[in-house]
Structure 1
Amino acid sequence: MEKILIKDVHIVNEGTITHGDILVHQGIIQEIGESISAKSSDVHVFDAEGKYVFPGVIDDQVHFREPGLTHKANIKSESRAAVAGGITSFMEMPNTNPQTTTIEKLEEKFAIAKKNSHANYSFMFGGTNDNLEEILKVDKKNVAGLKLFLGSSTGNMLVDDENVLEKIFSSTDLLISVHCEDEDTIKKNLAIYTERYGEDIPIHLHPVIRSEDACYISSSRAIELAKKTGARLHVFHISTAKETELFTNKIPLEEKKITSEVCIHHLWFSSEDYEEKGTLIKWNPAVKTAADRDGLLEALLDDRLDVIATDHAPHTLEEKSQVYTKAPSGGPLVQHALPAMLEFYHQGRISLEKIVQKMCHNPAILFQVEKRGFIREGYKADLVLIDLNAPWTVQKENILYKCGWSPFEGTTFKSRITHTFVNGRLAYKNFKVYDDVFGERLTFDR
């Protein structure tokens, strides 16, 4: 593997922005300095022309739909979109078909990714009411963690037996990630509006059905159980300002036993957008009020919320165009998540350093990912070059998701990702993803 010398970059890393060069050899960052010279003829010099460089983004929650749901997406198609969006590592969820609830099915997914993933990869193992024996077989050094659906599940993945749930929390030292929505609350709300409207419930009632109370009841219960058992808990996609009160910023991330995530769509959209976007922004948990959206950003900035993710979950347009009760929840986001956050930077609402902290550093710290998430000598060369002043518009012809649509279609972003390096290899350049597959299996320092 050739040496690459990236010259003239603004390096956004560990709370600072410095100007300099980065030397990469055999997929590893070998040297970072103010001015590095190419000392041999085998060094490929890459002039970054003053662009900004981030560590590769680590997305801790995606649904790439393989196996079993590949009419929507697959690991190859969505990892291509991910590297185009500056996401160089992802953690994929277990609610595929078949579900990833046995070691055998887990290893089958790793085999698919090894062959097809353009980005680095790991998978969450799925918990159910009856697979504790399989959970205890999971190797915490080689698997991202355990995913439990405490609401809004597919198949048999809803873990609703409280005795089983406590036993799981007490028995494993895996990081436990949870989807928190109270099913009883949702069912009662849904029954009210189904009686009134039938299946064609107006979409603006989605956050009324999947309400603030549904989220808070479930999140607070999970946190209470984690405190009782000492489990390592990570709460996915916080969607309400009220829930942010459950988390602390009083201790360093490395010392937290209970952590949290916020997703792009809950930071960008609000209930005011349902009129224009309809079911295209139907997610679980629901996009809620503008006050919730603002409260989430505030909690992100003050470190109550720890990481930014996508919950990338594509469906076909045909599926999303159905009436409320039949239109599935979820949408594609990996290609546009980082450009969306950079819009907040241009608006003066967040710094580049904070974006890198929440999208790169903190996922690496929280999941204890080995040698990624930072621009450091000796670390893997997952790097993203960004032109902060290169406007572009999201259009069908530049959307890379297999489903072919985006909730951001028609949006003009001020910043453009120009290059993405995965393990020191150029995986993406100016709207083109290269055919070679450079993704590696993530490992964890646990």
Structure 2
Amino acid sequence: MERDFLGFINDNHLFGPTDRVLLAVSGGLDSMVMTELVHRIGQPFAIAHVNFGLRGEESNADARFVQNKAEQYGVPFHLTQVDTKAVAEERGISIQMAARELRYAWFRQLLSENNYACVATAHHLNDVLETVLLNFTRGTGIAGLHGIAVNQNQVVRPLLFASRDQLVAYYEANKLTHREDSSNPEDKYARNRIRHHVVPVLTELNPALWQTFPRTVDRLRAAETLLRTELERSWQEISEPWGEQTLLRSDKLLSLSELPFRLSEWLKPFGFMVDQVEQMTNALTQSVGQQFLSPTHRIIHERNGLVLEPLRLAPDYEIRLTDWPSAAINVTGHFALAVQLIDKPDNIPTNPAVACLDADKLTFPITIRPWRQGDRFRPLGLNGHKLVSDLLNDLKLSRSERERTAVLLSGDSIAWVIGRRIDHRFRITPTTQRVCQLTLLNRL
């Protein structure tokens, strides 16, 4: 067993012979076998134990047992005690999830404070099979079907080469001792039900399960690697970054095979659900304007594709000026305006980012704010008034561009839809003496 153990560590580059490894030891059979194996190969190590406080005196006895073992091995011992139930209630999560989060957060702290190379847990092949079956019943991608990672974020699993029966055989041959969790025989948890009732049936159907299953897991991991490579390649092909936004071009999306699956994998990190992805796929062949929200992002169906952007609150600001400032007007997080009072220019700029207004027709206070539904102004060259919303629609602006549009008001009248169009009433005329030139420094 020691030879197989060391071979698995070396084959998977889990840690070097002089690295100090932190062992996560519960006191159960699996973790005691791992501790003995690490000791036998001469690896420098320390032991960490979490008392979750879930089984009263039994939990305290587990902690004392593990501490005594650390003293027998002559290695450093780390202990923490947490109120798992209270944390689970506070965070609104299951006790198992709270225990996992508390455990790994403490391990990360120990790694940082003590310069350990990694933390090793005692997961083995049976744990991998149970995890795969659990993930399968809950619905999962291909990553969920290869179970537990061998090496991930400084967490290593050096027993993943062995089945539970192999660990028991080693335990008995070396006359080791352990603490038995009284909840293990219970069927209260889904994992225990799979362990007690499903896995025995699978091993009966295939007596060579523990020889064939690792090969299946290896193939699934290889398939996932190929899949991730293809997903990254096609993402680069169909996406066009633009500031905080990313455009997923509809023409290129519709040319891809298995589009719902690709979209689901691409958008999973942004919090979008599978049913939303199905709606997005359907939206690509329908009229524009639909939007889809996740807790952190949104996707808008625009004319040229799906626009992905961080979820922001609607702009809410109002700047009131009683005089023209000497420096640029900064609307923090949105844009800035440079202000110049000049003589009437020979040529009026045609750039929509520059507005030349008759300074003597502007009255204070000058207000800068987001446009609102119902806002009206008189566009340059027109006799009648027009809704700002109609102007933005005529310009074929995307939803996010419309939302970021602001207006500059003279008193109660809109003088400029910033970056879009000035109001006819504030234009430069032959009688204009002074010009207020406003320049949008950051495009909306």
**TM-score scaled to structure 1, two decimals?**
0.21
Q: Which has the higher contact order (CA 8 A, sep 6+)?
A: 1
**TM-score scaled to structure 2, two decimals?**
0.21
Choose between structure 1 and 2: higher helix proportion: 2
